[in-house]
Structure 1
Amino acid sequence: MPELPEVETIKETLKLFVCNKTIKHVDIKWPNMIKYPDDVEEFKALVTGQTVRSMGRKGKFLLFYLDEYVLISHLRMEGKYSVHSPGDPVKKHTHVTFYFSNGEELRYNDVRKFGTMHVYPIGEEFLHKPLNQLGPDPFDTSFNLDYFYEKLKRTDRYVKTALLDQSIVTGLGNIYVDETLFRANIHPLKRCSKLTKQEVKKLQINAKETLQDAIKAGGTTIRSYVNTQGDMGMFQQDLFVYGQDSKPCRVCGEDIIKMKVGGRGTHLCPTCQPNKQGVR
């Protein structure tokens, strides 16, 4: 699933191709992707004639700011946007196409059909699902140490599980949680209630730095992620632990191991991230 750096990269790329372009009409091949309004014809009517004025992001969600409305798009596992000229071959699994008045097309392709789209009036986008269920973005000023510490201290969950909780902090997924925990030298099975304020500060700082580094590299390509221009993210070359199981740690030389935490594959260095609680 594209995480915050990948979605940020897509947002910045889409800006170059869709801003100030007017939607002439919309073709929807898979209506189940349209979550609000749940009537496909109403969805089409709301966005038709609207001009894309700017692009935004909240966690892993793309926000298309139109004249009067906000289109909220979640790519889920395999969703991809691409801009095309008329007559370009249409790939299989292209489920939604926005036709612009200049003849260009914005196509949404999704092999698994898990992606979602919502449309709300500007100003209401954070009052309803899905955005009203999200915690602060890691780059929001509200994601401060006091907030983060209080949220984590209230739960006895494993820290890996809590960091994946989008209601605590949004945008972090499996890749960047593993990388954040490694950089902070914290074992993924540590209980949140046992974290010191200094450890939470390390998590906060390293989450931001990890995401910033990934954004600079254009995100991480693990399986099929590419940006809207077809370019792969390159942060996978800088990963310390994710996907590195059985390889030597770049810091200490110990073999990286992989385990399950809350049903999620989790990568760590047993030397750099000692399990002081002895939990397995």
Structure 2
Amino acid sequence: MAREHYLINERHRNHKHTEKIISIFGSETQSLNILRNCERYKLKQASKRQGGRPPTEAVEFCLTLPKGIRPTQQQWRQILNKLMFTLAIHLDVPTSKLAPIVRAVLHQQNHDVAIKGTGDHMHVVIGKFTNDLIYLAELQRKSTTRRLKTAYNNAVYEVVGISHKSYRLQKGYDGIAKKRAPSWSVKAARKQEVIKQQERQLKRIIAQANKWLSAFDTNDQKQMNRQYNRLCEELSHLESANSETQDMFDFMQQLICKVETKGNSKRLSKYHPPRI
């Protein structure tokens, strides 16, 4: 809802070069519906006792045109219709299921080329969950972004008559756009984050195993049950390992298996830990 308020706020400091804000599709009702569907999905996960990361509500795309090009409000609606038709085919859902979870707002900008900033652009917010709680996981994939980029170029050509291949950049000020980080750098950073996450999981498992062993020595069955259940829960949250983290992943599983085997030993014949 904070995003909804930002998109329609003409007085926001980021909108000082925005001449007009127009609602192309939907209203605050769509934004509330996107939020409600996400909360309903969280409740569904909780009722099934499923873990994992909390889902995010939506994905936003910003469809931009250069300065000097200003389609009418009706033309923007036609462009949006073509995009949603393409997206519905890509997601394998009917357009009727997308309509309640799509919000589109147009920002008409100052077209003076001496002023830094973009031209007219349309923000499109799409919820990740339909009203019947279908999870549109493909929305956040790069393949979907590539598909929308191609569909947007084609829609602008069909509706406005301007081809992205024939357009020549016009810039009335000095400056160079910031370069995006190379994909290999982003992938390396993500791999490091995965390794750090698994290291944190390993530390928690070792600490829980040590507490279990201390309880084992004192025959504290209540504490043994508690720590064993925590170990099982931690194991259920482990993500699939890759070639670089397989050894750590295997060690975690072996550690929990040893705890389970020891708990089933003759020394604790009355102790029956729950199975994974």
TM bucket normalised to smaller? under 0.3
Higher helix share: 2
TM-score normalised by the chain length of structure 1: 0.26
| Larger gyration radius, structure 1 or structure 2 | 2
TM-score normalised by the chain length of structure 2: 0.26
